């Protein structure tokens, strides 16, 4: 009785990708409330997005809803988690054990969403050789050797902006294929290398600006 499931991961638009976690969290929430099925109309109301957009977005992950009952919730949760990469653990190294870097090392929530930080790099002698939340901190100079002995291809960038590009080049030279960039610096990478920018400070700036407008 389960709806047919196929994965079509090619060419999924980024706005769709960004919305999928909303559908996932909403579906998990409804499942927690004992629901067995959820319709795109229900998701649409919960999330405040047009129902036809919800149905279109979900068509990319090839979950088919059944007329009048909607999507099987267990199936929807499972397909979305799988599609979003939350069910596989992706190993990552973190560069720059400053305030934000150390905070991310301590965020165990990341592992529930598929990211396991297995090592961190810094040059500060006070930090090198220690562990933070069980994660070893190595000297940045040891990275090429350490990555050769690992199967890590994700690098998290939390260094000061003046070395953001240099460390990016260093990571990519060592074999990193995706850089999660938390610096407000716009790093450049060769073709084929994935960059995900998450500048908390840029988001803060947007929030402050909008707040000031509202308070005028």
Site for a second copy in 85-114 (CB under 8 A): 85-86, 90, 98-100, 102-104, 106-110, 113-114
| SS3 (DSSP) at 16 | helix
Instruction: Decide if residue 131 touches a second copy (CB under 8 A).
Output: no
Output 98 or 141, the one with its CB closest to a second copy. 98
Cα dihedral sign for 62, 65, 66, 71? positive
DSSP 18-69: HHHHHHHHHHHHHHHTT-SEE-HHHHHHHHTS-HHHHHHHHHHTTBPPBTTT
Q: How many Cβ atoms sit within 10 Å of the Cβ of residue 168? A: 24
Output 142 or 208, the one with its CB closest to a second copy. 208
Instruction: Decide if residue 14 touches a second copy (CB under 8 A).
Output: yes
Output 54 or 128, the one with its CB closest to a second copy. 54
* Nearest distance, CB of residue 209 and a second copy, angstroms: 6
Instruction: Decide if residue 202 touches a second copy (CB under 8 A).
Output: yes
Bridge partners (DSSP) of residue 120 are: 94, 137
Q: How far is it, in rounded angstroms, from Cα 110 to Cα 121?
A: 18
> Between the CA of residue 152 and those of 135, 155, 171, what are the distances in Å?
14, 8, 11
Instruction: Decide if residue 123 touches a second copy (CB under 8 A).
Output: no
The CA radius of gyration of the chain, in Å to the nearest whole number, is 20
Exactly one of 34, 125, 190, 192 binds a second copy (CB under 8 A); that residue is: 192
Exactly one of 4, 34, 162, 190 binds a second copy (CB under 8 A); that residue is: 162
- CB-CB contact of 86 with 10 (8 Å): no
List the interface residues with a second copy, window 45-74 (CB under 8 A): 46-49
Instruction: Decide if residue 207 touches a second copy (CB under 8 A).
Output: yes
Output 142 or 166, the one with its CB closest to a second copy. 166
Exactly one of 36, 69, 150, 201 binds a second copy (CB under 8 A); that residue is: 201
* Nearest distance, CB of residue 1 and a second copy, angstroms: 27
């Amino acid at each position: 009785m389960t709806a047919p499931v196929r994965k079509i991961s090619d060419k999924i638009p980024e706005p769709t990708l960004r919305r999928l976690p909303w559908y996932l969290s909403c579906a998990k929430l409804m499942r927690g409330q004992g629901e067995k099925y959820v319709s795109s109309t229900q998701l649409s109301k919960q999330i405040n997005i047009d129902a036809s957009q919800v149905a279109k977005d979900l068509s990319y992950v090839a979950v088919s809803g059944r007329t009048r009952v909607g999507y099987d919730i267990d199936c929807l949760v499972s397909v979305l988690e799988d599609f979003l990469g939350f069910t596989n653990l992706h190993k990552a190294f973190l560069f720059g054990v400053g305030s934000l870097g150390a905070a991310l090392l301590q965020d165990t929530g990341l592992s529930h969403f598929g990211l396991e930080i297995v090592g961190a790099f810094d040059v500060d002698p006070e930090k090198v050789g220690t562990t933070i939340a069980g994660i070893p901190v190595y000297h940045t100079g040891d990275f090429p050797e350490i990555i050769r002995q690992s199967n890590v291809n994700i690098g998290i960038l939390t260094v000061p902006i003046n070395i953001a590009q240099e460390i990016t080049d260093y990571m990519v030279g060592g074999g990193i294929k995706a850089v999660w960039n938390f610096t407000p610096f716009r790093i450049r990478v060769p073709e084929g290398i994935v960059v995900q920018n998450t500048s908390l400070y840029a988001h803060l700036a947007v929030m402050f600006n909008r707040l000031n407008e509202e308070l005028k």
